[in-house]
Structure formats: structure tokens, C-alpha cells
Chain A
Amino acid sequence: MGCEPLAGGRRELVHVHEVEVSLGGRTVLRDVDFRIAEGEFVGLIGTNGSGKTTLLRVVLGLQATTAGEVLVAGREGRRGGPIGYVPQRVAFDHDVPVRVADFVALGVDGTRLGLARRDRGVHERVEEVLASLELGALAGRRLGALSGGEQQRVLMAHALVSRPRLLLLDEPLANLDLPRVHETIAVLDRICRAEGVAVVLSAHEISPLVPVMDRVVYIAHGRVACGTTDEVVRPEVLSALYGHHVDVLNVHGRVVVVEGEPGDPGTHPEVVVR
């Protein structure tokens, strides 16, 4: 599948080439091949258990590969790259003696040794990021006292505080109600467009992302297809990916991918392809 970066002379930020990953003797990703350009908005779409989190961990340098090459900003994929990461769920202890502002500041200096006092620049940057995500009022609250949605926003602020060039989010839309989903997407879209940060987020539903995505990386059974939504979300492409017939339905502006029975391509309902 064609995975060339978008036109317009944007530079390549992430390069994943023929990557294979095995976990406990089972190959969970194979021949994964895609690129992400600076400032792109990319959806990593796939069902639960399809390997989305593993793929994000590969880009982060947290998961070793058995074959292939991962480059982030032209360097071998390893920890501590210019990436902000928002994991799917973090259970903070109720009593942990860390406030929101302390935690966000750790995104800047959490990797530094020593007890040197934080300079004013760090505090200003923290305030700036919290304000941009409308979290200013929470700055003095304990991490453990926040609601799930608030914790996710704080994790986002934490990821952005170090001015990353790439923001990776693992299922940020899961467990949110529909107004919240649209609100979160709008915030991410703004970060992407206004600050030029490339955003990669994983999701199991593609519909709410269609209006904002530059491209989609579709993952199924450990393999990916990559391109614009129109290029990838088509029955022939996805059928090849799944290894059996798949339909793509477009109902009232929602895109629904329907898996047919394996080896039984004849009994699927009528398809509306756009």
C-alpha cells in the first residue's frame, strides 16, 4: 500500500520499515511499514487486540522488535525521543503526594538527576500548557483526586510540556461520552494545526476521526495498511488486510467496517461504498 508522506514538502518524522514483533513466541506484528510526516494527524485504527498498543510502544522504544527498522526524527527509535506519550489508562493512587502542576513539571525535568530548584522557565511553561488545555484551575489538586477524564487531560498536558514533535495517544477516546469525544478531537486538532505537533492516536472506531485525519494507519491481524481515509477504508484494501471479505458501510455520515465470515464471501449484506 502506498505510504508516501503527504505532499507539500513536509519532512518525515517517523519511519517504520518492515517491522516484526514477537511476544511470548507469537508474532503479533509483521511487515509493518509506514511513515509519518511532521505535523500530520494520523489515526491508528484497529479492533481490540489487533496490536495498536504494541505498535505505539515500538515507536516509543519500549518494545523491542524482532526485525525491521524504526526511525524517529532520523534516529534509531529509542526511549527519550522527542515524543509525548499518553497511555490508555493510568491508575494514580488516591493519596499520592503529587499535585497536577508537580506532575506536569516532571515532564520537563523528571529525567534529570539532582535536587536543583526548578527555574522560573519551567513553572511558566507548566502554567502555559495547563492554561492551553483549560486545566489552570486543577493545578493545585492532587493527582489521585481527579476524575478519569481530568486525569487524561493532565496526562496530555504532561506529554506536551516538553514541546514534543510527536504526540502519541493510546485509545484517548475510549470511555468518553460523545460530546467529550468531539471536544478531545477538537483539542488535538488544534494542537496539531497550531503548534505543528504530529498527532498519532489509536482508536477502534474510525468515524469521529474522519474529518480531522490526514491519513490512517489501519491495523488488523498484526499487519497494516496506510494512506488517506479514502485510499485505505475500502472493501478491497481491508479485505486483503483481514484475509477475508470485509464490507465498508457509510450510514448517516458514519463509516462502519463489517467483517464477513471467513471463507464465506457470498453472504454479506449489500454494501454502500463511498
Chain B
Amino acid sequence: MIHWFVEPGFWSNPVVGTALVLGAVVAVVSAAVGVMVVVRGQSFAGHALTDVAMAGGAGASLVGASPLVGFLLAGIVGGGSIEAAGAERIRDRDVGTGVVLGAAAGLTALFLYFVSSSTSATGSTQSVLFGSVFTVSPSVVPLSLAVAAATLATLFIVRRPLLLSSLSPELAAARGVRPRAMGLLFVLVLAASVALSALVIGAILSTALLVGPAFAALRVARGLVGATLGAIVAGVAAVELGILLSYDSFYWSAAHRSVPVSACVVGVVLVEVAASAVWSRLRRGRGR
């Protein structure tokens, strides 16, 4: 049974080992941050950051730096400017975010063009945009673990004032919390988490890992703690299962073309979201 499901060499392959560990860590961070993203209603900002991070990743591959550094720097700059540009009016913020996002996509196009015309390396579009956890070099792992730990620690420390300022900025301000500062801090946490997941499933797909497990868990769980734990479980399961499916697909398909890891992870996330929708509908039906 196990042998039918797990194709040969899965456990002994060092690349797979790195992928599984890195994927799990990234999934934990994304899920924890994602719950706050969904609660704060910032899915669009989260997604815009992925596009900004994408420009950073492309820039990094142009100068030969580590993609994680590029994702991080661009995310922090872009997130800071989105937050600074328009915290006052939510509706204006959407249009402003959109314009930043468009400009970032344009920059990505330019950087990738330079990469492909200056070097003979191919596949940079794919690795920056859609990512592949199988191609992450082991040297990036320590840095990503450090970033993950710092992100989780920050989130844990500020979780209460952050939640209060998400639910009611006025109330939080009255209690001495500074909503603007909280917003900025949260965008930085978000940028770090987007950078990490961009490494694993690619910049433009990282939104899936960010909001998918969190959305599913928030539908099923009651409290915020339960939702966060549920999101972590769902996120880790999505990444690990996605890696396994992608690895197996090489053996399953006749042409020996494997399905990209990112697509597999997104697929599992979707199944989880659909399952949570069915579950909450059943529960509501019974409640009546």
C-alpha cells in the first residue's frame, strides 16, 4: 500500500528531504500569518506583496543573489510603501495597491528579460514565478529558518494588540495601541512570510499557502487559537502532500513529465478549502 503511494527513492533522496523540512517550516509561518490576513481582510494586500516580491526575486536572479534576499527586500519596501500610501481610505487603498502591483509586474518583466538576455540560463521565469522547492539550494535553508523563527516570534509577541487593532482601530487607539504602527509591523511580518512561501511555491502562487489553509481553518474552528493550529496542520499537510504528489507524478505519467510542486500544493489547498466549505454547510444545516 505504502509502496503503491510512495514511489521509489522518495525517502532516501536528499533533495526531497530538504524540501520536506523547508516546506513544513514555511507552511507553519504562512498559516499563522494567514489567519491574521484573513481576519484583517487583507487578502489583496497579501497578494500584491507577492507581485512585489516577484520583482525582487527577478532582480536577485539578475545580480546573482539569493532569491530569498530579493523576495524579502522587495516585500519590505513594497509593503512599507503600500501601508504608508493609503491607510486612511480602504477603497483608495485598493486602487493604489493595484497601481503598485502593476508597476511591480512591469519591473519583473524587465528583470527577467535582462536575465534571459545576459546569461544563457533558462527557466528563471519559472523558478521565480512558480518556484520549485526541489531546486532550492541547501545553503538557503539556515537563512530561511532564521527568518521563519523571527517572523513567528514577532507575530506571537504582538498577537493581542494586533488582533484588537484589526477588529477596531478606534478601540485599540483608545487603549494605547498605535494602529498605524501595528499595520506597518504586520505588513513586515506579511512580507517575510510571502518571501518564504515564494521560495517554496513561487512568488505568484504564494497567496494560496497564505490564505487557503487559514480560510479553511477559520470556517471549521471556533476560536483564534484553534483556527491557527488548524491552519498550521492544513498548511503543512498541503505542502508535504504536494511534494509527494509531484514526486510521484514523474513515475505515474507516461511521458515522465512531473507536475510542478507548486501546482500540486495549490491543488491540495483547494481540496482543503472545498472540504471546509462542505463541512461548515453540513454543520449549519444540522444547526437549524
Contact = CB atoms under 8 A, between A and B. Distances in A.
In the complex, are there CB atoms of A and B closer than 8 Å?
yes
Contacts of A93: 91
A25 B288 contact: yes
Interface of A: 25, 93-95
A94 B288 contact: no
A25 B287 CA distance: 11
Contacts of B89: 94
- 5 smallest A-B Cβ distances: which pairs? A25-B288, A93-B91, A94-B89, A94-B92, A95-B92
Main secondary structure of the interface of A (DSSP, over half): loop
B86 to A, nearest CB: 11
Contacts of B288: 25
B93 to A, nearest CB: 12
5 contacts: A25-B288, A93-B91, A94-B89, A94-B92, A95-B92
A175 B156 CA distance: 40
Interface residues of B, number: 4
Contacts of B91: 93
Interface in B179-209: none
A208 to B, nearest CB: 29
Contacts of B92: 94-95
Contacts of A25: 288
Contacts, number: 5
A111 B154 CA distance: 53
Nearest to A95: B92
A25 to B, nearest CB: 6
Interface string B23-46: 000000000000000000000000
A95 B288 CA distance: 44
B98 to A, nearest CB: 14
A25 B92 CA distance: 36
Nearest to B91: A93
A95 B93 CA distance: 12
A197 to B, nearest CB: 34
Nearest to B284: A25
B99 to A, nearest CB: 13
Contacts of A95: 92
A94 B89 CA distance: 9
A33 B92 CA distance: 45
Interface in B75-104: 89, 91-92
Interface in B243-277: none
A95 B92 CA distance: 9
A37 to B, nearest CB: 40
Most chain A CB within 10 A, of B89, B91, B288, is at: B91
A145 to B, nearest CB: 14
A61 to B, nearest CB: 27
Nearest to B288: A25
Nearest to A25: B288
B211 to A, nearest CB: 26
A144 to B, nearest CB: 10
A254 B92 CA distance: 44
A93 B89 CA distance: 9
A94 B88 CA distance: 12
A151 to B, nearest CB: 16
Contacts of A94: 89, 92
A93 B94 CA distance: 12
B85 to A, nearest CB: 15
B142 to A, nearest CB: 48
A94 B93 CA distance: 12
Interface string B107-130: 000000000000000000000000
A157 B92 CA distance: 27
Nearest to B89: A94
A93 B92 CA distance: 8
Nearest to B287: A25
